[in-house]
Amino acid sequence: MIQLIPIYVLWLREMKKFFRMKSRIIGMLTMPFFMLVFLGLGFRRAEIPGLSGSMDYIQFLVPGMVGMTILFSSSFTGVSILMDRQFGFLKEIMVAPVSRLSIVIGRIIGGGFTSVMQGCVILLFSLFLGFQLFDIVIAPMAIIFMILISICFISLGLICASYMKDVHGFTMIMNLIVYPIFLLSGALFPISNLPEFVRVFSYGSPLTYGVDGLRGLLSGHSDLPLIVDFFVLVLVAFASVSVAAYAFKKSQI
């Protein structure tokens, strides 16, 4: 059973925590900023295999950096679960008359808001570096893909956090998972440049479809039909939320 008031309370708590922790905002945005500036401008005139002749590298790179920002911000939302467990807040909400599904949804919505906001900041910054939106009318639809990406990877973080108690161990495991996902997603270079056996792993990652969808909406170039990217992300998001709710229900306080 989904309860709206607990979801709202958990969302509001995440938003307050986010805006009060300025170092967290700076830390999450610094790396995408640097990569946009140095890679986007440094390879602006380079001929990248796999790119069409009419597409600048920065047009290719920006959707990948938006996806990267959401990926890292979302995946490490699970740290807050471990901190809440350490300081006793998790026990308080777990013994309250609130369904575990409502707790998971509240966490996902709170983390999703902050992740999507960071992705939008990166997108706005890229406009000053010369990035051009393919169609300003359909560009806002990219927010749908940002939301779906954040749902998938916040759920992944919650699943891992449900079975772990050590923050440092969680960080190491998430880095081990997240970096290959990022590198295989086509965020930095076309997937077609990868060996065929590696490409199979790329298409097994939801971020690949998220980045491809963002690239299609923002730059006008995508390897797959947008409808395919959308439905794959919806299916993965639904499945990951279901698994996260189950893992949270079975986790020990």
The answer for residues whose C-beta is within 8 angstroms of residue 133's C-beta and 6 or more apart is 127, 139, 218
Closest residue by Cα to residue 2 from 97, 99, 95, 90: 99
**Amino acid at residue number 142:** A
Residue 227 has pLDDT above 90, yes or no: yes
Q: How many CA atoms lie within 13 A of 237 on its CB side?
A: 22
Q: Are 20 and 93 in contact (CB under 8 A)?
A: no
Residue 106 has pLDDT above 80, yes or no: yes
In the prediction, which pLDDT does 207 show? Answer: 92
In the prediction, which pLDDT does 212 show? Answer: 92
Residue 198 has pLDDT above 80, yes or no: yes
Which comes out higher in pLDDT, residue 151 or 16? 151
Binning the chain into helix, strand and coil, the percentages to the nearest 5 are: 75, 0, 25
In the prediction, which pLDDT does 228 show? Answer: 93
Q: Beta strands of 91-222 (E only): which ranges?
A: none
Q: Beta strands of 53-179 (E only): which ranges?
A: none
What is the rounded average pLDDT of the residues 2-14? 79
Distances (CA, A) of 229 to 75, 148, 201, 207, 215: 20, 11, 16, 10, 11
Prediction pTM value: 0.88
Tokens read off for 89? 């807040």
In the prediction, which pLDDT does 186 show? Answer: 85
Read off the DSSP letter of residue 1: -
Residues 60-102 have pLDDT tens digits of 888 999 998 899 888 877 777 777 777 666 666 766 677 777 8
What is the rounded average pLDDT of the residues 30-34? 79
